[in-house]
Amino acid sequence: MSLSSSIKSFSLAILRLPLKLLVREKRAPSDPVSEFHLSEDDHIVYVLRTQSMTSIELLKRQGEQLGLPIGKVTDHKRSIPAQGSCLFLNKRPSIFRRNKVNAEHKDSIVKLLNAQKANPDTKFKLVPVSVYWGRNPGKERSFFRYFISSIEESGRLGKFLIILFSGRQCLLQYGQPIELTSPEIDLNANAERNAHKLSRIMRVHFNRAWVATVGPRTENRRDLIAGIVASDSVQEVIQREKSKGKRTEQDLNKEAGKYVKEIAANFSPRMIRFLSSLLTRVWYKIYAGIEVNNLKEVRQMAKDHEIIYVPCHRSHADYLLLSYQLYHEGLAPPHIAAGINLNFWPVGSILRRGGAFFLRRSFRGNRLYAAVFNEYLYRLFNKGTPVEYFQEGGRSRTGRLLTPKTGMLAMTVQSLLRGLKKPILFVPVYIGYERMFEGKSYVGELRGKTKQKESFGQLLGVRKALKRFYGKVYLNFGEPLKLQDFLEQRNIDWQQASLDQEDRPEWLSNSVSALGDEINRRINSSASVNSVCLVSLSLLGTPRQAMDKQELISHLDMLITLAKSAPYSPYINLPQNSGLELLNTALKLGMVQEFSDPAGDVVSIEGDEAVLSTYYSNNILHVYALPSLIAAIFQRHEKVSREQVIDLVQLIYPFLYQELYIRWTHDELDEQLHHIIDSFVTLGLLKESQNQLMAPADEDSNWSRLMTLAQAVQPALQRYAISLTLLHSLREDETLRRAELEQESQKLAQRIAALHGINAPEFFDKNLFRNLVKVLKDEDWVDHTEGAGMRPTEACRLLYNTVLSLLSVPVQQGLQQASRSLKQTKQSTQPVVENKPEK
């Protein structure tokens, strides 16, 4: 070993004790060995951005934990760098050193390239490793950042201070390894040229990884306010308002500045670190763990794209959980669009420093506010700041995805048209809970109780909720969606539209609606099928929400097997537990009760949990909607051909597709239906003979499982039957306006729910009927003339009869009776017009 290597080894030994006491490093990803498919047979050499003895020691500690080669000083006299050798692209910063480039790493890469050429059976890999201290992006204009930086390019004094104050906020991030056997590397070419190319690739990697992990430098708040107020888009609105003569330009500029202060985040890395420490304690106390799935793809794409996280919205914990987990996974926490209702003391200030920016529920009538908000959002996108917003607008009280509010999506598309440095990438996120701490308040709201306004007093009430146990949380990242690709698939020339920003494009409204629907489908495609959802779905299919324990366990096993044999999506998260383990989890969480009976133990849902269980079953209803619809066909049909089953499902599918945001297009549906039918046959839920499908015999246990499964989609079919019944009860000279059909359908649904004890408040949700009527129009099942109302077409009668054939006879009779009763009530309440005698 050379003298310099000996000195460095001695320095490492001296460093070991203070590092052990002061530094608690984390790594991302948590398991780089499996994520990057690293093997003990690989010849691994680490590449770091800047020379640092501290980084070598940290790699040694991590290597011992992961079973990777232990980090060591590179001996440049060796013919091949040893496993675990550390190569540095730059030298340690110094006041007197102008050239920071370290040329020695290229010599080592040349040796590795030659070794790879001579030993083709050995895999030589360069593993880039970034080291972050405190993860503070810093201010764009800050005197102190030149002396005390949070990044690894610090001198000895700076590094000492960083270790002293940020030692427990250290992150080691492993990057995608570069395999020297890769097709992109021509080993027969000049080795020095290849080494130069690889060096440049790694420099680009470190630069992009830094922004993706830490985020761009934050702008001084005073400069931000001044910049937005002075922007062309805001000044244009100010001049327009000034021309009306009601306010002066000075007053309008002042008002615009107030809007910026109301909206803009005041991001603080110190607050992020504080919240991270606080939430770690909270999550470990109330949750059994946070399970993250499908993040690898996002981590790779975050370096080259402007990331917009679009999660479903179920709980106030959503944005805290997502930002917390992204931070711990080595990604920059996003700036979050929050409702102005959350801007109350002290929460508003904390959220603002955590990256929240606030928006009003409506911009209507206030062009200046809209211009300021648009400009702020554009600056976030153009700067490369990751952003998060909930396109549903508010939290779902039914467990279903809400119809997207397209305002934020439209502003995102308009920002693209203005021109951005990076392409926009939407990342759908499914957030699933085994149990939510807002459960009780949701039950009250579902029963008609007024939603409580967020306040400090309400915040104090959270303490009681934090004393309970809520099971696991699931963060599943769905298939990313590139905005440019989406627009091009719709044959939209967005680049031409970007040249003319004066006019709002005609295609914008329809495109953002389709974009919102597609994001919802991708969120649902990454759903998590957990214990409480499955147990709720099963018990709600029984008349009294109760089932024999052993039968329930068998039913749960069947549902899991069905979901695995005919998978909904490659991004979906399915449980690996048995039905018994899932039931035990639900019992532990208090969602169901078990009591003994002479004939065997019984499991049931009681009290408020019966209402809340509809919420949890709705989380996964889209996964089992098609199997349930197929099962429903055999409630009243003993024998049906495979082709008839597919035709029946295809006829009704447009309603489910719109209501539940199911992922398959009409062209993809056939293949999935065949998969589901094959799974039914394999599981014994159906029998097939000469292309005829038959249900099992009544005494077969599979018959009861098939009928229980059929109940999942029954409330949806009943809603469709309600609107269709109203349409087909019209006289020949009658029409029904769209708003009237929605209102009358809702009233009839409320009456049926009351008469038949349907304990699911979303059964008569007006938004579901609005979507239903939209499908009737889009699929041409009604003749509709604007202003003249609508009537059913001839094709609609086939649809009506098909839906009725999937309902039980008592349900059909109850539907007709409730319809007649409602019609009589409506006629009796109409005012009587007296004929006055002519004068």
Q: For residue 836, what pLDDT band results from cuts at 50, 70 and 90? A: very low
**Structure tokens that stand for 120 in this block:** 């083709």
Q: Is the peptide bond before 761 cis (omega within 30 degrees of 0)?
A: no
* 560/449: higher pLDDT: 560
Closest CA to 617 of 727, 720, 529: 529
Angle at CA of residue 269, ends 266 and 274, nearest 5°:
110
The pLDDT > 70 percentage for the chain reads 88
**Region 287-313 average pLDDT:** 95
Compute the distance between CA of residue 375 and CA of residue 307 in angstroms, rounded to an integer: 18
Per-residue pLDDT at 295: 95
Which of the residue ranges 53-67, 136-150, 464-478, 725-739 would you say has the lowest mean pLDDT? 136-150
Domain boundaries, given as residue ranges, for the chain: 3-214, 288-334+386-436+473-526, 528-619, 713-827
Per-residue pLDDT at 548: 94
Per-residue pLDDT at 24: 86
Q: For residue 21, what pLDDT band results from cuts at 50, 70 and 90? A: confident
**Region 79-107 average pLDDT:** 82
**Region 134-140 average pLDDT:** 74
pLDDT tens per residue across span 329-371: 999 999 999 999 888 888 899 999 999 999 998 888 899 999 9
Q: For the domain made up of 528-619, give the CATH fold.
A: Arc Repressor Mutant, subunit A (1.10.10)
- Angle, helix 642-659 to helix 794-805, in steps of 10 degrees: 100
Compute the distance between CA of residue 535 and CA of residue 516 in angstroms, rounded to an integer: 30
Per-residue pLDDT at 237: 94
**Structure tokens that stand for 622 in this block:** 């889209």
Q: Does residue 48 carry a pLDDT above 90? A: yes
Q: Does residue 592 carry a pLDDT above 50? A: yes
**Region 718-739 average pLDDT:** 89
Amino acid of residue 194 = N
Q: Does residue 96 carry a pLDDT above 60? A: no
**Structure tokens that stand for 235 in this block:** 């000044």
* 730/432: higher pLDDT: 432
The pLDDT > 90 percentage for the chain reads 63
Q: Does residue 284 carry a pLDDT above 70? A: yes
Which of the residue ranges 151-160, 420-429, 460-469 would you say has the lowest mean pLDDT? 151-160
**Region 219-238 average pLDDT:** 94
Per-residue pLDDT at 454: 61
Per-residue pLDDT at 832: 43
236 φ, ψ (degrees, to nearest 5): -60, -45
Per-residue pLDDT at 146: 42
* 396/3: higher pLDDT: 396
Angle at CA of residue 827, ends 825 and 832, nearest 5°:
125
Please report where in the chains the tokens 């003569």 appear, as a residue. Answer: 245
Which of the residue ranges 399-403, 676-680, 833-837 would you say has the lowest mean pLDDT? 833-837
Per-residue pLDDT at 11: 65
Per-residue pLDDT at 477: 98
* 791/756: higher pLDDT: 791
* 143/541: higher pLDDT: 541
Parallel, antiparallel or unpaired: strands 306-311 and 424-433: parallel
Q: How far, in whole angstroms, is CA 564 from its chain's centroid? A: 22
Per-range mean pLDDT, top range of 3-12, 381-390, 446-455: 381-390
Per-residue pLDDT at 683: 96
Q: For residue 246, what pLDDT band results from cuts at 50, 70 and 90? A: confident
- Residue 263: CA count within 13 A, CB half-sphere: 26
**Region 572-592 average pLDDT:** 94
Angle at CA of residue 143, ends 142 and 145, nearest 5°:
70
Per-residue pLDDT at 118: 94
Q: For residue 397, what pLDDT band results from cuts at 50, 70 and 90? A: confident
**Structure tokens that stand for 720 in this block:** 């469709």
Compute the distance between CA of residue 796 and CA of residue 479 in angstroms, rounded to an integer: 36
**Region 507-536 average pLDDT:** 96
Please report where in the chains the tokens 């990751």 appear, as a residue. Answer: 386
Q: Does residue 768 carry a pLDDT above 80? A: yes
Per-residue pLDDT at 662: 97
E strands, 64-164, are: 72-73, 85-90, 124-133
Per-residue pLDDT at 152: 52
Per-residue pLDDT at 92: 76
Q: For residue 145, what pLDDT band results from cuts at 50, 70 and 90? A: very low
Per-residue pLDDT at 838: 42
Compute the distance between CA of residue 572 and CA of residue 663 in angstroms, rounded to an integer: 12
Per-range mean pLDDT, top range of 71-75, 99-103, 139-143, 361-365: 71-75
Average pLDDT, the chain: 88
pLDDT tens per residue across span 605-640: 987 788 889 999 999 999 999 999 999 999 988 899
Compute the distance between CA of residue 643 and CA of residue 633 in angstroms, rounded to an integer: 13
Per-residue pLDDT at 456: 54
Per-residue pLDDT at 192: 94
Per-residue pLDDT at 617: 95
Per-residue pLDDT at 817: 76
Per-residue pLDDT at 438: 77
Per-residue pLDDT at 149: 45
Q: Which residues pair with 174 in a beta bridge?
A: 129
* 801/102: higher pLDDT: 801
**Structure tokens that stand for 439 in this block:** 């459960």
Per-residue pLDDT at 329: 94
**Structure tokens that stand for 255 in this block:** 């008002």
DSSP string across 749-789 = HHHHHHHHT---GGGG-HHHHHHHHHHHHHTT-EEEETTTE
Per-residue pLDDT at 828: 60
Please report where in the chains the tokens 């159906």 appear, as a residue. Answer: 686
Per-residue pLDDT at 401: 94
Phi-psi region of 789 (alpha: psi -120 to 50; beta: other; left: phi over 0): left
**Structure tokens that stand for 460 in this block:** 């104090």
